[in-house]
Structure 1
Amino acid sequence: MAIKKDTLDQLLAGRDPKEVFNKDGLFDELKKALAERVLNAEIDDHLEGEAAEGRKNHRNGYSNKNVITETSKLDIRIPRDREGTFDPKLIARYQRRFPGFDEKIVSMYARGMTVR
């Protein structure tokens, strides 16, 4: 999947290209946004599965988690459910260090995971 030139231009607008890969730069923002998007897709899938089983579970806000990757420290919002049965696959419960974070995000998209 190629990212469109216009999308890249929008992301880079008003930024110093030399700072894109710096700590808290565009690359870290993208990693955070992608991780949160995947986590939201995971909980949607989880809740759909529970509804199919006749359970009445719903979203119940977010909790913040600091995750340390090879290149940065990210503050990620992890979605919660009322029943407490949601166990994220991308970033497991109690996991703080995340070696291979970048590769895992890319591989999830390469496998064609549906992200809403």
Structure 2
Amino acid sequence: MKKIMKEKNHAVPDEVLSKKFLNQFKTEADVSKFLKQLHAQVLEKMLEGEMDAHLGYEKNSVSGHNSGNSRNGSYPKKIQTEHGEAIIPILHDRNGEFESIVVPKHEGRGFSIEKLVISLYAKGMSVSDIEEEMREIYEIELSTSAISIITNKVNQGCSGITEPPFGSGLSHRLDGWYCIQGS
């Protein structure tokens, strides 16, 4: 008789779930709160990336001076995510031309484009492949530079979550995307 080996298919590698990391959670509500905050933080970084792509320069960049359009603050918006209600800052520009794809106007439920972009990127697709996939299958027009900026912003946001209590040198999985401290 053949012995069938069950393959462990954990969403998070065991080394990420250290005792030090897990000790911060006492109840399921603690875990839910953490995931909700992390999701809101990722959405915020993606919005910043979208704005950078729209304007053609990063926040506080000298290249934005006298560019004809600039950031013009934000307003809080309640959205319903898969982790519960979250309040995130919705950015706007002086010319009123910026329209987010991550959190579309007049929708209280965040479209999960963040999951789509992160998932495709985590699966090893190139930025141009992601752009093509989004255009052909999902009928979403998003330039390769916008996708690149969004993934970079999220990557920068991931580096922030690797600060204590996570510990140093550990990788953390976020919807299929590994964020590694010190790399």
Q: Detail structure 1 runs of 4+ shifted over 4 Å in the superposition.
A: none
CA separation of 1:13 and 1:60: change in aligned 2, threshold 3 A? farther
Quick check: 2:35–2:83 contact (8 Å CA) kept in 1? no
What corresponds to 1:35 in structure 2?
A: 43
Among 71, 75, 89, which residue is 2:101 paired with? 89
Unaligned runs of 5+ in 1: none
Among 57, 78, 90, which residue is 2:69 paired with? 57
Quick check: 2:25–2:31 contact (8 Å CA) kept in 1? no
Tell me, yes or no, if structure 1 residue 110 matches structure 2 residue 110.
no
Work out the CA distance in 1 between the residues paired with 2:74 and 2:114: 20
- Count of equivalent residues: 104
Superposed CA offset, 1:49-100 (max 9, x none): 8x9xxx61001111110001244111011111111100000111111124x6
What corresponds to 2:90 in structure 1?
A: 78
Using structure 2 for the length normalisation, give the TM-score. Answer: 0.47
Root-mean-square deviation over aligned CA pairs: 3.0
Work out the CA distance in 2 between the residues paired with 1:37 and 1:13: 25
Work out the CA distance in 1 between the residues paired with 2:48 and 2:22: 27
What corresponds to 2:31 in structure 1?
A: 21
Using structure 1 for the length normalisation, give the TM-score. Answer: 0.71
1:15 CA displacement: 1.9
Amino acid at match of 1:90: V
